[in-house]
Amino acid sequence: MIKSEYFIRAAQEKGFGLYTGVPCSYLKSFINTVIDSDHLRYVGAANEGDAVAIACGAELAGVPSVVMFQNSGFGNAVNPLTSLTHTFKIPILVIVTWRGQPGGAPDEPQHQLMGAITPQLLDLIQVPWEPFPTEIDQVEPTLDRAVAHMRQHQTPYALVMQKGSVESCPLSSQLTMKPLSITPADALPLQQEPSFTRRDMLQAIQGATGPEDILLATTGYTGRELYAIQDQANQLYMVGSMGCISSLGLGMALAQPHRRVIVVDGDGAALMRLGALATVGYERPPNLRHILLDNQRHESTGGQSTVSASIDFGAIAKACGYEQVALATTPEEVKALTQDPCEQLMFIHAKIKPGIPDKLPRPHITPLEVAQRLRQFIEAR
């Protein structure tokens, strides 16, 4: 058993600056130590997959990151661990607890199967792992192996934490409560039937993006259309990891607080991980613009309807803590809102017509090349 501060201090010396995750009783003292630190950032995520995406965003933006979660929630993290970290080659350190460990302490029935397969699941998704260190003299060598793998292969490395690995540590600081300023939903203007396409809105957004800004496009046709309009070094086109773009943007915005991060989301993707809005709204990075292009379709995967016609995205964003919420009906309005110099977290909801341009190309640049180019863009400015 070790003190959590031993591991965290050693990790900090190796550059790890942001921690994110979903709590587990095994991780309690570990998370408490990070929260109490004046030099580290902890972001509590709505689910394990969002945590992976947040860590990836911070790492892409230059801050090595750690993601922590209970193994019973491992399934939520499998998608971004296979289609985000693997595809874009983003190395993050994963700490996963081993509830239900065979031969270990008795545990709840829901941990039985996952406890039996946790190591094999890491092997299956090609994430190398080793036990979380339980002795002081193990900490440095363990981190050295993890960092060496991450630098060489640019992929995650996992530490599996067994019960009793870390000494108990109470939380000294208190969670900061951020008051809401909610505009009643019926005070928001009603939108007209959409008259503009995804391409119209993307052209406006791209035209409003400054030379220092980062522009992130969600999975599917949004990224492909943005690429077709004009491929640029400050752009990232998400593949896989459906619904993770706002969490990726959050991590980047926290890691690059002096640079604007513009996230272009879709209604189907946003609905898939709607809890991410709560995390973004709590953190409230003033340099983040979250733009939702809503055509009420899963257009990239067959054109089936989403349920967005029956909900108010703006009201949800406002209730989650977004300080500025706007509805836009024209490209000019989207452009003006994107360029707005206000230093507050903003959500822009723009309904668009369904439709796909003829002969829409797929990017000729690979996801790995996109990630490498974006890193270079950030480092050069």
pLDDT at 166: 87
Report the C-alpha gap between 177 and 107 in whole angstroms: 34
* 379 vs 381: CA distance, rounded Å: 6
Confidence of residue 179 (pLDDT cuts 50, 70, 90): confident
What is the structure's pLDDT at 132? 96
Q: Kindly report the CA angle at 241 between 230 and 351, in degrees rounded to 5? A: 60
Q: Looking at residue 186, what is its pLDDT?
A: 45
Distance CA 5, CA 20 (A): 16
Reply yes or no on whether the pLDDT at 194 is more than 90: no
- With a CB cutoff of 8 Å and minimum separation 6, the contacts of 306 are 267, 268, 271, 296, 297, 298
Using a CB cutoff of 8 Å and minimum separation of 24, what contacts does 145-153 make? 146/93, 147/14, 149/91, 150/91, 150/92, 150/93, 151/91, 153/89, 153/91
Element (H, E) at 262: strand 261-266
Question: What is the average per-residue pLDDT within 10-31?
Answer: 93
pLDDT of 195: 87
Hey, is 304 helix, strand or coil?
strand
In terms of C-beta density within 10 A (0-12 exposed, 13-18 middle, 19 or more buried), how is residue 65 classed? Answer: buried
Residue 173: per-residue pLDDT: 78
Q: How far is CA 286 from the centre of its chain?
A: 17
What pTM value is reported for the model? 0.93
- Determine the pLDDT at residue 192: 67
Side chain identity at residue 179, one-letter code:
P
Residue with tokens 């661990």: 81
- 46-58: pLDDT as tens digits: 999 999 999 999 9
List the single range of 128-137, 168-177, 199-208, 329-338 with lowest mean pLDDT.
168-177
Place of tokens 């898939």: 272
pLDDT beyond 60 at 323: yes
pLDDT at 366: 95
Cα–chain center distance at 21? 11
d(CA 54, CA 354): 30
* Percent over 90 (pLDDT), the chain: 78
- DSSP 8-state class, residue 166: B
> Which pLDDT score is estimated for 188?
47
pLDDT reading at 84 higher than 60: yes
In tens, the pLDDT along 279-289 reads 999 999 999 99
